[in-house]
Amino acid sequence: MEKLQSVRGTKDLFGEDYLRHEHIVSIAKRIAQNYNYQGIHLPIFEFSNVFKRSLGESSDVVGKEMYSFLDKGNEEITLRPEFTAGICRAFISEGLKQFLPLKLFTHGPLFRYERPQKGRQRQFHQVNFEYLGEGNPEIDAEMIAMAANFLEEVGVLKNTSLELNSLGCSETRKNYQIKLVEYLNDYANDLSHDSKIRLSKNPLRILDSKDENDKKIVANAPKIHDYFTNESADFFLKLQEYLKLLGIEYKLNPNMVRGLDYYNHTAFEFVTNDLGAQGTVLGGGRYNGLIKLLGGDNTEGIGFAAGVERLALLCQLPPKAIRPCAILPLRINEQNFAMKLAHDMRKNNIPVCFSLNTKFDKALKNAIKENCNFAVFIGEEEITNNKLKLKNLDTRSEEFISIQELLVRVK
């Protein structure tokens, strides 16, 4: 019989991995609440065109990495590779325009077929924040500040640096792309295979190439800042002023790009040197043209996402959960009483370690193994006198207290 094992690029979360994962997500939920973001859950799969139109046919995700298939109705379906496209689809199909401006938070698994490596799996998880319906630089500054706040709460901000760029308005991009292509055409034969393809389909993506020779070529390429319109320059200047006001340090990275036309103005990433090649732990930017591209009205938008697996590699274990209290009936005759006591304690939000039909000696060993801090010993005399023996398993001290006192003391 074939040995059962997990699919390549997937990982079971258990023990410390599970605790780190849940810790990061819980912090993201708290940050969302602090900034008044509403939660939204999206389908794990969408019609493939949702991602093809939003990510671009020439992107690596669409061309190489999407998990797509035909369902029984002969519809092409794709497991979601990212969140933003699905949120924009929901905005259109669910008629959410009436709620603008709209702040949305979500989290969960995503899927991309790529080579598994440190911090990167084929099924991975992200936390995701989107702000729809406002297009001002102060919104972008708040978004970046929220991202920094999140990373600080996770405990990894000190290990990252914020890189910032502006893609300008549509006129800026158009003028800049013409000059960039003119420059790159002189090096067309020297570009990597992928960049040669991008030169005709998506030339801005070449600026972000990881190929060492491509990096040398683009080092002297024209800079988008030289083609800013007055609107673009003013937007970027105000954004930087707001970040300085909030005490958020950053450095400009003119080669940070988003390859598709609906991206504009702000692009940002928090990067680290502690994860090798997988240096980006959180990235985001403004995408004012995406909802219109998908068939909706012209609606401003900005968002960011962070990979939970990458953050988990950088963060410390969260504080341990509240330790449980063990309920230990001395004999089988006291088990019903113990079961009812365990039920009452759990209703009072007190974690309890109790197992029916477990012998006393074994139950005590389990209590120590489960890291219980208290144990309640229940015998016939204790039940008759309503005085239960409570033992502190750390200090070994003992006392007799009533059930009512027990609930207060242990809690």
Could you please report the per-residue DSSP string of 211-272? -HHHHHHHTTSPPGGGG--HHHHHHHHHHHHHHHHTT---EE-TT----STT--SEEEEEE-
Residues contacting residue 64 through CB under 8 Å, at least 6 positions apart: 113, 114
Query: CB-based burial of residue 129 (10 Å sphere; 0-12 exposed, 13-18 middle, 19+ buried)?
Result: buried
Domain span including residue 270? 16-169+229-314
For residues 240 and 389, membership in a common domain is answered with no
**pLDDT tens across 245-270, in order?**
999 999 999 888 876 768 899 999 99
Q: Is residue 201 part of a domain?
A: no
For residues 120 and 269, membership in a common domain is answered with yes
Residue 355, H or E segment: none
Q: Is residue 213 part of a domain?
A: no
Alpha-carbon gap, residue 168 to 170, rounded angstroms? 7
CA distances from 236 to 267, 277, 290 (A): 10, 29, 20
Alpha-carbon gap, residue 211 to 193, rounded angstroms? 10
How is residue 89 written in tokens? 């689809």
| CATH code for the domain in which residue 303 is found | 3.30.930.10
Domain boundary among 260, 291, 314: 314
CB 47 within 8 A of CB 77: yes
CA distances from 64 to 68, 261, 305, 361 (A): 11, 21, 21, 58
Q: What is the dihedral of CA 10, 275, 224, 258, to 10 degrees?
A: 10
For residues 25 and 145, membership in a common domain is answered with yes
- In one-letter notation, the amino acid at residue 265 is H
Q: Is residue 394 part of a domain?
A: yes
| CATH code for the domain in which residue 347 is found | 3.40.50.800
For residues 159 and 37, membership in a common domain is answered with yes
Alpha-carbon gap, residue 323 to 47, rounded angstroms? 46
Query: Is the previous residue joined to 101 through a cis bond, with omega within 30 degrees of 0?
Result: yes
Q: How high is the pLDDT of residue 277?
A: 65
- Burial string for 52-68 (b: 16+ CB within 10 Å, else e) reads bbbbbeebbbbeebbbb
Q: How high is the pLDDT of residue 278?
A: 62
Domain count, the chain: 2
Q: How high is the pLDDT of residue 322?
A: 81
Helix, coil or strand: residue 283 = strand
Domain boundary among 314, 334, 355: 314
Residues contacting residue 405 through CB under 8 Å, at least 6 positions apart: none
For residues 332 and 307, membership in a common domain is answered with no
Q: How high is the pLDDT of residue 63?
A: 78
For residues 256 and 342, membership in a common domain is answered with no
For residues 44 and 109, membership in a common domain is answered with yes
Q: How high is the pLDDT of residue 247?
A: 96
Q: Is residue 177 part of a domain?
A: no
Q: How high is the pLDDT of residue 259?
A: 66
For residues 106 and 55, membership in a common domain is answered with yes
CA distances from 284 to 163, 352, 384 (A): 11, 43, 65
Q: Is residue 181 part of a domain?
A: no
Domain boundary among 282, 314, 346: 314
For residues 59 and 149, membership in a common domain is answered with yes
**Helices 335-347/403-410 angle, 10° precision:** 50
For residues 244 and 145, membership in a common domain is answered with yes
Q: Is residue 290 part of a domain?
A: yes
Q: Is residue 306 part of a domain?
A: yes
Q: Is residue 222 part of a domain?
A: no
pLDDT along the chain (411 residues), means of 10: 89 92 96 98 96 80 89 96 96 97 98 88 97 97 98 96 94 90 89 86 83 89 92 97 97 84 91 82 95 95 96 86 88 88 91 83 88 91 87 92 85 74
For residues 163 and 250, membership in a common domain is answered with yes
For residues 123 and 22, membership in a common domain is answered with yes
